[in-house]
Amino acid sequence: MIVQRLTKTLSKVMLSGSLSICLLMPFSNFAKADTIALSLPLSGNFSEIGRDFSTGAKLAMKAIGKGYQLFIADDGCDRDLANLAAKDIKSVKPVLVTGMICNDAALALANKLRDSQIPLLVGGARSVRLVKDRNREDWNLWRMSPGDDAPAEQVANFISQNLKDKAFALVDDGTIYGRSLTDAIRLKLNDTGMKPQFADTFRAAQSKQSGMLRRLERSGVAVAFVAATTTEDLFTIAKDHKSLGIKNRLIVTEQLASLPYLENADAASNGIMVMMQPPGIEVESASNLTKLLKERAITPSKAIYDGYAAIEVAIASLGENYQKTIQNLNSNRFETILGSVEFDKQGKNIHNPYKLYIWQNNLLEPLDNSNNL
């Protein structure tokens, strides 16, 4: 049994190594001093996202990256593969590393490259630990992607600014994700002296959610925030909310961002709100990239826009040496197709991209101040 397990482990590592070599060989002649490295999952379950991110990065390099070249390493969104990727990246001495769309890979690279002085610009991983432990662990890291706590921050801000005189509720699906999110909102609101007038947990994966909605109706709250792990649960809630004629307003998590593309989307309750990141295809400052993707018949995806924006920050931050680049990342504000990026003392992007969108006329549109709650 031990031999069998060891053989499987060695096979995985050997396969990972050969895969990495195949992917990296085309970049072996690049000038090391002019190389920006990408650490992305080009194999495994998240390879499609990794390829999309690299597509955006390559388009950005062609547009603004004259004098620099890309070195792409496969981290597989896996700690072991990321350790191998870190070794390959370190060998080419890049001026900066970006990508890192998965938490395990980002943490592995942060540890493996800790003593290299190479700046790491995290373009997708969202772990709070990346910034919370950054200074203690001496990680040379800046996280431009929003943290796992970003939706909670924006929901709490919205409630504290708009619902001071209204009763509100916090509802979750009983999962770790749902409870963590509502707990985080509750804690943030405690600092403002606000507390939910009603709290509830619904049973996930049911064909109907009328029970929970009726409880909300009886509670008398004006607005309820509902955190759920799946699009299916939120779509069921949105449909039942409409069919039952419930008057409470609902704010739900970003899992319902795909509502415009769902079959029978018009069955969802008009006026339901979704806390989500703006789709890149709808961001005005990204219109040139959107047009380019259309011209090249490339299907737009969030990762493509993220990859482009990551290279924008990378190029703008580069100095004549690591120290100057680090100084730039610590002190400068960067403008990207997706908005501003600016880092605090923990390496966290202070600009939270999450916004409220409202479902009306079969579209998710940014919530305007004129919308009455």
Per-residue pLDDT, 25: 35
CA-wise closest residue to 258 among 147, 110, 357: 357
Per-residue pLDDT, 371: 52
Mean pLDDT calculated for residue range 242-267 = 96
Domain ranges of the chain: 2-146+286-342, 150-276+354-366
The class (CATH top level) of 2-146+286-342 is alpha beta
Per-residue pLDDT, 373: 63
Per-residue pLDDT, 17: 42
Mean pLDDT calculated for residue range 33-40 = 90
Q: Please check the confidence at residue 6 and state whether its pLDDT lies above 70.
A: no
pLDDT digits (tens, 9 = 90+) for 265-309: 999 999 999 999 999 988 999 999 999 999 999 999 999 999 999
pLDDT digits (tens, 9 = 90+) for 22-31: 333 333 333 3
pLDDT digits (tens, 9 = 90+) for 89-128: 999 999 999 999 999 999 999 999 999 999 999 999 999 9
Per-residue pLDDT, 161: 94
At 368, the pLDDT band (50, 70, 90 cuts) reads: confident
Sign of CA dihedral 242, 282, 184, 223: negative
Mean pLDDT calculated for residue range 209-225 = 97
pLDDT digits (tens, 9 = 90+) for 123-163: 999 999 999 999 999 999 999 999 999 999 999 999 999 99
Per-residue pLDDT, 282: 87
Query: What is the spatial distance between Cα 23 and Cα 42, in angstroms, rounded to a whole number?
Result: 9
pLDDT digits (tens, 9 = 90+) for 47-69: 999 999 999 999 999 999 999 99
Of the options 3.40.50.300, 3.40.50.2300, 3.30.930.10, 3.30.1180.20, the CATH number for the domain spanning 150-276+354-366: 3.40.50.2300
Name which of 29-33, 38-42, 70-74, 141-145 the model is least confident about: 29-33
Q: Which two tokens stand for residue 319?
A: 């100095």
Per-residue pLDDT, 239: 98
What does pTM read for this prediction?
0.87
Do the domains at 2-146+286-342 and 150-276+354-366 have one common CATH topology?
yes
Asked if 172 contacts 358 with a C-beta cutoff of 8 angstroms, the reply is no
